[in-house]
């Protein structure tokens, strides 16, 4: 399975998009990962390690153009709905269910871990929702930064709480 990637500078440092789609003409690239704060060589090593792919990942700006534009617009403060296809290559069925549910949280709004669990029909699974947030391979597009504790505090974030605050501020949310 070929793996493609591209990147942009961002307020979070270098931001990389990774796709594994075998696209036909006119299709949109499905996103498998977003990574930030690492250099290109480290990204290539992580792709190879995490995907189990023994092929060298290929940088392909054309394939990921739409994602670059959308993320750039997002960091510019534009309200963006990330409705493009995602194709996570990792995650349990429950984690993937959580990630799909998080994509329904509107821009500029937050939801608690417990509320996400309730929406999934698993009201006692708030901690499992938090764990799934921590394993999210496609942050920003799968907006785990919009999930907070029930008491209104931030909770954790795999990129660090300071990054969660940056992302929420972009969306006009101060917590």
Active site residues: 144
The span from the CA of 14 to the CA of 22, in Å, is 25
CB half-sphere exposure, 140, CA atoms < 13 A: 29
Do the Cβ atoms of 157 and 145 come closer than 8 Å?
Answer: yes
Burial of 139: CB neighbours in 10 Å, binned 0-12, 13-18, 19+: buried
Distance between CA 19 and CA 31 in Å, rounded?
5
Residue 165, C-beta contacts closer than 8 angstroms, at least 6 positions apart: 154, 175
Ranges of beta strands (E only) in the chain are 4-8, 15-19, 31-36, 58-59, 111-112, 147-148
């Amino acid at each position: 399975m070929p793996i493609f990637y591209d990147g942009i500078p961002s307020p979070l440092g270098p931001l990389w998009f990774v796709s594994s789609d075998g696209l036909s003409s006119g299709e949109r690239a499905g996103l498998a990962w977003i990574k930030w704060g690492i250099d290109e060589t480290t990204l290539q090593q992580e792709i190879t390690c995490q995907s189990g792919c023994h092929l060298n990942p290929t940088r392909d700006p054309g394939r990921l153009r739409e994602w670059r534009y959308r993320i750039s617009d997002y960091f510019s403060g534009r309200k963006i709905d990330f409705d493009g296809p995602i194709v996570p290559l990792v995650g349990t069925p429950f984690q993937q269910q959580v990630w799909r549910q998080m994509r329904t949280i509107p821009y500029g709004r937050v939801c608690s871990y417990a509320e996400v669990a309730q929406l999934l029909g698993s009201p006692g699974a708030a901690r499992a929702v938090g764990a799934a947030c921590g394993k999210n391979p496609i942050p920003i597009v799968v907006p785990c930064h919009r999930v907070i504790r029930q008491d209104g505090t931030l909770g954790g974030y795999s990129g660090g709480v300071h990054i969660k605050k940056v992302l929420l501020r972009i969306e006009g949310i101060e917590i």
